[in-house]
């Protein structure tokens, strides 16, 4: 699943390809991708709009248009491809934006991705953006904030790190890496974390995600940011998918925590 570094990479790739392009038409081949408004309204409103910027909030892509924001969440396997208008449309290309000289096609094998077309005014104050927590680099993200958010959480920290309403952008892969570097056992109850552990979570979240962004994200299974663009952070993974701990050389433990495959060292992360 594309996480913050992958979405950031997609954003930057698309900015080089479609910025300042006018949307002449759009085909919606799988209506459930469009969450809001209706498909007919979506098509009517977006025609003639120009893409003036592309932003990111958490794992959401925000295509800034003249009058609207197009919000796109890639979910498990969403991808954007640039294609010629005469290229064959495959069965997984569900939304096709037509420009003068090319098309931008949203491809999603599992059809989990979602799009919203919202008025620009107040877009951050309504769903889905108003449900999101702080970005990892927000100056308000401090140990006191996490302590307050975690104090009533009886769940394992691995699960709570994935909660986008507290801090955005962390998915399964990066949660394992952050906890390993923080020397925190993924089963540890969130409400039991001390100040040092909370500060380490903030510190290593920034460090891991910054490095992953620099390397274009992590390519595991189906993720690519665009055709021919692959993340290189998988070469830097310390614990996720690994067999032995790079520090103590003991066997990495692989378990399921609330249904999510989790890797950790039970010697270094007691």
Structure tokens at 139: 């100056």
Candidates 5, 6, 8, 59; catalytic one? 59
Q: Say which residue the tokens 């900015």 belong to.
A: 15
Q: Is 12 a catalytic residue?
A: no
Catalytic residue status for 260: yes
Residues 114-147, buried b or exposed e (16+ Cβ, 10 A)? bbbbbeeeebeeeebbeebbbbbeeeebebebbe
**Measuring CA to CA, which residue among 9, 32, 34, 6 is closest to residue 97?**
34
Catalytic residue, chosen from 2, 5, 136, 186, is: 2
Asked about 246 being catalytic, the answer comes back as no
Instruction: Judge contact between 75 and 1, C-beta under 8 A.
Output: yes
E strand spans, 65-196: 68-73, 78-83, 93-98, 103-108, 114-119
Query: Considering 3, 64, 77, 177, which one is annotated as catalytic?
Result: 3
**Angstrom distance (rounded) from CA 195 to CA 80:** 41
Task: Give the count of beta carbons closer than 10 Å to the beta carbon of residue 172.
Answer: 18
Integer Cα distance of 203 and 178 in angstroms? 9
Angle at CA of residue 107, ends 105 and 113, nearest 5°? 115
Question: Given 45, 111, 242, 260, which residue is catalytic?
Answer: 260
- Cα–Cα distance, 23 to 100 (Å, whole number): 8
Q: Copy the structure tokens of residue 127.
A: 């769903």
Q: Answer yes or no: 45 catalytic.
A: no
Catalytic residues: 2-3, 59, 260
């Amino acid at each position: 699943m594309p996480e913050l570094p992958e979405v950031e990479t997609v954003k930057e790739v698309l900015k080089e390809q479609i910025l300042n392009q006018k949307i002449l038409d759009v085909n919606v081949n799988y209506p459930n991708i469009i969450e809001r408004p209706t498909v007919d309204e979506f098509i009517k409103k977006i025609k003639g709009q120009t893409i003036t910027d592309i932003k990111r909030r958490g794992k959401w892509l925000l295509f800034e248009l003249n009058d609207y924001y197009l919000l796109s969440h890639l979910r498990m396997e969403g991808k954007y491809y640039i294609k010629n208008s005469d290229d064959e449309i495959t069965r997984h290309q569900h939304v096709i934006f037509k420009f003068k000289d090319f098309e931008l096609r949203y491809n999603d094998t599992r059809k989990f991705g979602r799009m919203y077309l919202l008025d620009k005014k107040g877009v951050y104050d309504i769903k889905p953006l108003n449900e999101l927590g702080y970005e990892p680099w927000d100056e308000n993200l401090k140990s006191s904030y996490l302590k307050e958010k975690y104090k009533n959480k009886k769940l394992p920290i691995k699960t709570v790190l994935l909660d986008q309403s507290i801090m955005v952008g962390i998915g399964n892969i990066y949660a394992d890496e952050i906890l390993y570097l923080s020397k925190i056992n993924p089963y540890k109850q969130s409400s039991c974390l001390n100040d040092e552990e909370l500060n380490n979570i903030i510190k290593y979240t920034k460090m891991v995600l910054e490095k992953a962004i620099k390397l274009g994200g992590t390519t595991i299974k189906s993720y690519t940011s665009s055709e021919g663009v692959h993340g290189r952070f998988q070469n830097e993974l310390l614990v996720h998918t690994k067999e032995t701990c790079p520090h103590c050389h003991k066997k990495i433990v692989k378990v399921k925590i609330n249904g999510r495959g989790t890797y950790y060292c039970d010697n270094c992360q007691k």
